[in-house]
Structure 1
Amino acid sequence: MVAALIAVIVAVPFGADVESRLSQGGITAPGSEAARADDLLNTVFKSGSPHLVFLVKAPASVDDEDVAEKGRALTGRLGDEPGVVQAASYWSLDRARPLRSSDGRTALVMVRLDGDEDTVRTTAKRLLPRTVGERDGLEITATGATAVRMDIEERSEEDLVKAELLAVPVVLVILLLVFRSVVAALLPLLVGAIAVVGSFVILRLLDMVVPVSVFSVNITTALGLGLAIDYSLFVVTRYREELSHGHEVADAVARTVRTAGRTVVFSALTVALSLSAMLVFPMYHLRSFAYAGIAVVVLASIGSVVVLPALLAALGRRVDALDVRRLVRRRGAADKPPRSPEEGFWHRLALVVMKRPLVFSLAVVAFLVTLGLPFTRVEFGDSDDRVLPASSAAYQGAQVLREDFDSREGSPLSVVLPGLDATSGAGDVTAYATALSEVPGVTRVDAATGSYAHGRQVAPPDEASGRFGAAEGTWLSVVSDTEPYSEAGLGLVGLVRDVPAPSEALVGGQAALLVDSKATLGDKLPAALGIIAVSTFVLLFLFTGSLLIPAKAIVLNLLSLTATFGAMVYIFQDGHLRWLVGDFNVTGLIDIDTPVLMFCVAFGLSMDYEVFMLSRIKEEYDRTLDNTAAVAWGLEHTGRLITAAAALVAAVLLSFATSGLTPLKLLGIGLALAVVVDATLVRGILVPAFMRLAGRGNWWAPPFLRRLHRRIGLSD
């Protein structure tokens, strides 16, 4: 216990600034065509899509000579800044019409920065405060991919603090209702704090070796508090139960670690394996969630089976100190006599369900499948400015681009032709650019040989055209009038890639990166699902010695997720129930990484409750060999705890619903719904119904597997 306290004191200052040290990117699929194109643009051409787009609003017209002079000066000043490889504007590009708004009052300055994602972010942090705002009578607003990402990161940090401040008091109240003792209620919070602080340290250490996404901090906090509280809840409850049976403190601690502690370790292993499935994806954004999740699960389990038992041994029977029920007794209320298990709500519910198991199971399955139907029309996208609240400057600037400009100048496709010389191959470049300009949705193609639109050259090459050529090849900018992450924007990538090129052509840009990320996720998803299914099946077999129970657990866990994924589309893609969950911008898309993250986390949490429930059912079945009685007894001894644990985890997750960021709001509400559905409909109805229908077949395994289980199974 002393060692744990010293470790926490040392860890707090080391992990306190972890968010400022982690990386912001990692959402692209490394090695994909789009990633290779963007890498060549960065390293060879020092050019490409702008990282920052400044909207410069004039009092009257951007064509006024005074405004034009200030615009050229601003462009030149930005171009001379360290870390800026290119700055171009309406004024420096000979008053290019697409860079002026329809009302003539706003013009664009586009800035490309040098370096990787973290270097770009550092440069942008230096530039933005010195550029935006009222400058020389001009109103300057910043948007663009990097400005949006920075705003998302900043708001994520703020929302995380707000969520913690909201969640902790609610969790403490629920723990007081469960334990009715201040001391007992504080123990799970203490273990949760240890798990979160320790995970921050691990993330910072990992970042010294591999890139770690800053957004993994959010899942660390939610899982750390949720799982640590879950595990501690079961350990403390079992300890108090052993004390109530007349055991001495030392014996009660030992028995608690041998039973509940063993179950906690096994549960943590199943959750960690579910999260490890994200390691098969090459995007370090997803891999970071696995790092963070596995770290916090391990620390939560260690805190629950090592630190917490030490605290319980030190406290002894004082674990029930500061009993809140004394207030009631002082007012003259009498203590209720202890209630037998047969009189409990969960025991009676299990018996009711098991009298008509087929009716109950079919009704609940039909209900969950119905809730999940909206997911059949899911449309995937990526986080852009629309995940920000309407008050965000980056979002407001992007809206001006959408509404007042004819084309998406800030998010063109980039077509890289490595090995094709723009001078000797000028004819090939011209022919290719002309063909690209004829693609539906393309408004303009800029190349080393000039600009093209609708199958003809509309402008000769100028001073800015030199950026399209290098010794290693050339590239073209394909500007369209489509939203990058829309169905039309993604379809445009395929149309551009289908145009015959004079040499190898690599298509990059925001839309192309998303297309390739979707393909990569689709390719790796079977492996991820296989890891979850196989590891879950094997571990539950080792835990129970049964073949049917692991299969049942996987099927029911998938069912518990149907409502979550249906709600994801119904609420966040379609825009329903915003009055209930908090206002957000409806994009008609779901962030492509979120379903993968939610599936792995929610499946792990479902297995968490499955293991705790099965541990008590199996304990009673081994004693009585009566399947029906064991299910009712096990549900009675875990139903209240699982419900309390689900309420605690849901309280932590729902605090994320207060976020102004749509992905965080979606993650919190979706996972909270998954936890609540699993703890009520699945554990309370489907598990007893299915186990009643299977009867003694629940515990069947062929003789050779029974012998294997006796040798290597996880039994007391």
Structure 2
Amino acid sequence: METFTRWILAHRRLVAGFWILLTVAGIATASSATKAMDQKFSVPGKEGWETNKAIAHLYHGTGGNAAPLVPVVSLPAETTVTDPAVRRDLAGVERKVTAALPGSRVAGYASTGDRAFVSADGRTTFVIAYPTPDPDQPFGDNPKAEKKLHAALVGATVAGSPVRLSGLDALTAQSSASNGPGVLVEALVGGLGALLVLAFVFGSLLAFVPILMAVPAIMTSFLTVYGLTTITGVSPIVQFLIALIGLGVAIDYSLLVVVRWREELAHGRGGDEAIITAMSTAGRAVVFSGTTVAVGLLALIVLPLPFLRSVGIGGMVIPLLSVAVSLSLLPVILHSWGPKLDWPHRRTDDKASTRWTRWAEAVVKRRWAAAALALVVLGLLVGAASKLQPGVSNPDTLAKGGAAKTGLLALERSGIGSGALLPHEILTSRGKAAAVAAAVAKVGGIHGAVAPDAWRAGGTAVAIAFPVKDGSRKAARDLVVPVREAARSADPQARLGGEVAQNRDFIKAVYGSFPLMIALIAIITFILLARAFRSLLLPAKAVLLNVISVAAAWGVLQLVWQSGHGSDEIFGIAATGSITAWIPLMVFAFLFGLSMDYEVFILARMREEYDATGDTDLAVVRGIGRTGRLVTSAALILFMAFISMASGPETDIKVLATGLAAGILLDATVIRALLVPAVVSLFGRWNWVLPAGPAKLLRVEPSLPPRTAPEPG
């Protein structure tokens, strides 16, 4: 590292020019990079996905993995759908839908005469409309269709009652229109929060340096991913990873290096020697931190879903480029501008933080109690995580009011149920469609099933079944198997599609391979950290605590959102009943790498202090004294960014932001400030042991602390 840093400083104009060129190119191509990202989603080889793909192919892109729009009508008292005038009005509604959405698949009571579209009392009814997809939207969505149909149904009535457009797209549109800051406002709030924290840490204009380093890291990541799109598909999710992880790790890494550089200056090292020493110590920790973040994302390649593999491949470039910026451009900035920016220098790094030193001394003195307290808190949250149910979004959480919400409530109160928004689609033979619908209609938990005559293509037909419960409920997810069996009892060639079946396939594909993903991450991370810390015990503890940290964040999701202990009080949103399937996975990919940063920062400094003193407790106290404020500040920056993101109107984003914010907060407090120093103190000299055999395999020097009586201090 020393040789590399000296070369960077000797060629600083070349290095600065190189990063300026890449940053400008990244800014110029960022929009093109986003557009070039592959927007296709698939769960290859699974019945739900393959059936939906076949339905979309045969029926001009309608249905399959896209949720329908659902106009809902609640008739006046003493009026039912059997009234001829009501049926004429309902037929008019279906004609309006067809005219507004040419090529769509539409069905309702007026065109089918089937009671599957009607409540038991005959006073509530609905229409199903599957619009053709928008080629510019991912996953077969068509938000423009909702706007067109909403406009077409303005003023439409049935027997004097208004027609209210519901459905997932309509609910989402009204959610997005509800109160909440835009993305730009959220980004500005997060950036301002980061600047305030950095200003507190440095007490000088150096607060701008970590934010400045994030710019080339993020823009170069976009440029690199743009190149990747020419050889492989890259999911649009990667653009959010670049913005979120890129900002977080670039600031974290620069913060670590700059703090160490100021410490070396305070200790009397001047000029480039302070930079070289900072890079040889903090810079080395940055290398291992960035590698572990990259491993956490790259491990997604073991999951059998192409779009998640692309997230892993595309996502790994972000921390690696953030490391590259911190190791090359940051020394140049510190050499050329560091002393000038360290003004007015209201805070010195000559000594360790007095408060954090006292805290570490208290934890070491009461290490058994500290460890027990932390484990109790984490144990309760991990226990809650064991009840986590991956699923689909609960329609009740998508909008607080409006016509779409009123329509949904009408379906629920009438007994039809919210499952009408997420029906099962069954691809069957043309001649057996009616029999399939009749068989499925008898399944408990199904409100009704129908095979509209108009839904025919070639030798196939589509039957549709409406569960009472929506797909976010376990009762609805458990219906997938009996519905499939009932359909095949009438037609052995019948195949079950729809969003609920596809989501079940997604969960099985992802979470069935999840243990393999965790094992791969654990093994690679253990090897990397064993080299970094020259220890076997420290990396094992780090990996275990990181997994526990993520599980604890899942526990917060289960308690706050799935069970509703806080979602209503904080956000005004009822319990979701399940957590959208992709959210726990993203929480793991984000938090495992980001929280490992803090572990590496702390343990690297403890290792350095132990090598200097040979005293574990003293190493713990000095390590926490030097890194406590740094880790807390870095975590606070991310926490504020996630809290800002949670203020947006979309429920899924609120859930994701809650998990990330809770994970960062738990990791920086309960784990890194309490459990880590307590456990390291308890293990004593065993923390630092690396026998000759493993050391030879890892190609590092062995570490064999002397076997003596109790350590000094």
- Structure 1: which 5+ residue stretches go unaligned? 326-334, 448-463
Partner of 1:437: 441
Which of residues 467, 472, 476 in structure 2 aligns to 1:480? 467
1:174 aligns to 2:190 (yes or no): no
Which of residues 325, 330, 342 in structure 2 aligns to 1:308? 330
Give CA deviations for 1:70-114 in whole Å, capped at 9, x if unaligned: 4354244246x3xx25333444435x4444678988764433344
Q: Is the 8 A contact 2:175 2:650 kept in 1?
A: yes
1:615 aligns to 2:604 (yes or no): yes
Q: Secondary structure at the match of 1:602?
A: helix
Partner of 1:702: 691
Give CA deviations for 1:25-68 in whole Å, capped at 9, x if unaligned: 63x63221111111121223546567442526699888458845
| Aligned counterparts of 1:633 and 1:692: Cα–Cα separation in 2 | 12
Which of residues 448, 453, 472 in structure 2 aligns to 1:465? 453
Partner of 1:510: 499
- Mean Cα displacement is larger for which, 243-252 or 58-67? 58-67
Which of residues 112, 123, 140 in structure 1 aligns to 2:130? 112
Q: Is the 8 A contact 2:133 2:141 kept in 1?
A: no
Which of residues 552, 568, 573 in structure 1 aligns to 2:562? 573
Partner of 1:124: 142
Partner of 2:375: 365
Q: Secondary structure at the match of 1:31?
A: coil
- Mean Cα displacement is larger for which, 302-311 or 390-399? 390-399
Q: Is the 8 A contact 2:174 2:399 kept in 1?
A: no
Distance 1:519 1:134, change over 3 A: closer
Amino acid at match of 2:271: V
| Aligned counterparts of 2:381 and 2:95: Cα–Cα separation in 1 | 58
Q: Is the 8 A contact 1:34 1:508 kept in 2?
A: yes
1:32 aligns to 2:46 (yes or no): yes
Distance 1:121 1:294, change over 3 A: closer
Q: Secondary structure at the match of 2:601?
A: helix
Q: Secondary structure at the match of 1:587?
A: coil
Partner of 1:416: 427
| Aligned counterparts of 2:470 and 2:542: Cα–Cα separation in 1 | 42
Q: Secondary structure at the match of 1:132?
A: helix
Partner of 1:329: none
Give CA deviations for 1:645-676 in whole Å, capped at 9, x if unaligned: 11112111221221222222222222222222
Distance 1:86 1:2, change over 3 A: same
* Offset, 1:224: 1.9
Give CA deviations for 1:454-477 in whole Å, capped at 9, x if unaligned: xxxxxxxxxx42524533x45432
Which of residues 258, 278, 303 in structure 2 aligns to 1:236? 258
Amino acid at match of 1:132: H
Q: Secondary structure at the match of 2:464?
A: strand
Q: Is the 8 A contact 1:200 1:217 kept in 2?
A: yes
Q: Is the 8 A contact 1:124 1:147 kept in 2?
A: no
Which of residues 478, 489, 503 in structure 1 aligns to 2:476? 489
What aligned pairs does 1:537-556 form with structure 2 within 5 A after superposition?
537-556=526-545
Amino acid at match of 1:347: T
Amino acid at match of 1:441: G
What aligned pairs does 1:50-449 form with structure 2 within 5 A after superposition?
51-55=67-71, 63=85, 67=89, 70-78=92-100, 81=102, 84-94=103-113, 96-99=114-117, 108-114=126-132, 118=136, 124-133=142-151, 135=153, 137-138=155-156, 142-145=165-168, 147=170, 159-182=182-205, 184-207=206-229, 210-284=232-306, 286-287=308-309, 289-291=311-313, 293-323=315-345, 325=346, 340-341=351-352, 344-391=354-401, 394-404=404-414, 406=416, 408-417=419-428, 422-423=430-431, 426=432, 432-447=436-451
- Mean Cα displacement is larger for which, 488-497 or 387-396? 387-396
Distance 1:304 1:143, change over 3 A: farther
Distance 1:581 1:163, change over 3 A: farther
1:657 aligns to 2:646 (yes or no): yes
- Mean Cα displacement is larger for which, 655-664 or 553-562? 553-562
Amino acid at match of 1:270: T
Give CA deviations for 1:344-398 in whole Å, capped at 9, x if unaligned: 3333333332234223212321232123332232222113544423146655544
Which of residues 57, 60, 65 in structure 2 aligns to 1:43? 57
Q: Is the 8 A contact 1:167 1:655 kept in 2?
A: yes
Distance 1:241 1:198, change over 3 A: same
* Offset, 1:176: 0.6
| Aligned counterparts of 2:517 and 2:174: Cα–Cα separation in 1 | 31
- Mean Cα displacement is larger for which, 582-591 or 388-397? 388-397
Distance 1:121 1:494, change over 3 A: closer
Distance 1:492 1:559, change over 3 A: closer
Amino acid at match of 1:248: G
- Structure 2: which 5+ residue stretches go unaligned? 1-15, 157-161, 704-713
| Aligned counterparts of 1:145 and 1:694: Cα–Cα separation in 2 | 53
* Offset, 1:643: 1.4
| Aligned counterparts of 1:403 and 1:713: Cα–Cα separation in 2 | 70
1:9 aligns to 2:24 (yes or no): yes
Q: Is the 8 A contact 1:385 1:394 kept in 2?
A: no
Distance 1:487 1:434, change over 3 A: same
* Offset, 1:292: 5.3
Distance 1:21 1:158, change over 3 A: farther
TM norm structure 2: 0.84
- Mean Cα displacement is larger for which, 403-412 or 232-241? 403-412
- Mean Cα displacement is larger for which, 96-105 or 377-386? 96-105
| Aligned counterparts of 1:156 and 1:12: Cα–Cα separation in 2 | 31
| Aligned counterparts of 1:77 and 1:23: Cα–Cα separation in 2 | 32
Q: Is the 8 A contact 2:289 2:596 kept in 1?
A: yes
Q: Is the 8 A contact 2:124 2:411 kept in 1?
A: no
Distance 1:108 1:117, change over 3 A: farther
Number of residue pairs matched? 672
Distance 1:694 1:480, change over 3 A: closer
Q: Is the 8 A contact 1:545 1:699 kept in 2?
A: yes
Distance 1:121 1:665, change over 3 A: closer
Give CA deviations for 1:545-564 in whole Å, capped at 9, x if unaligned: 21111111122223333432
Distance 1:120 1:307, change over 3 A: closer
Give CA deviations for 1:410-451 in whole Å, capped at 9, x if unaligned: 43222334xx5x34xx5xx6655443332212333334xxxx
Distance 1:203 1:694, change over 3 A: same
Distance 1:23 1:116, change over 3 A: farther
| Aligned counterparts of 1:392 and 1:17: Cα–Cα separation in 2 | 37
* Offset, 1:136: 7.0
- Mean Cα displacement is larger for which, 552-561 or 567-576? 552-561
Identity %: 29
Distance 1:705 1:51, change over 3 A: closer
Distance 1:121 1:150, change over 3 A: farther
Q: Is the 8 A contact 1:131 1:140 kept in 2?
A: no
- Mean Cα displacement is larger for which, 170-179 or 140-149? 140-149
* Offset, 1:267: 0.5
Q: Secondary structure at the match of 1:465?
A: coil
* Offset, 1:537: 0.8
* Offset, 1:275: 1.8
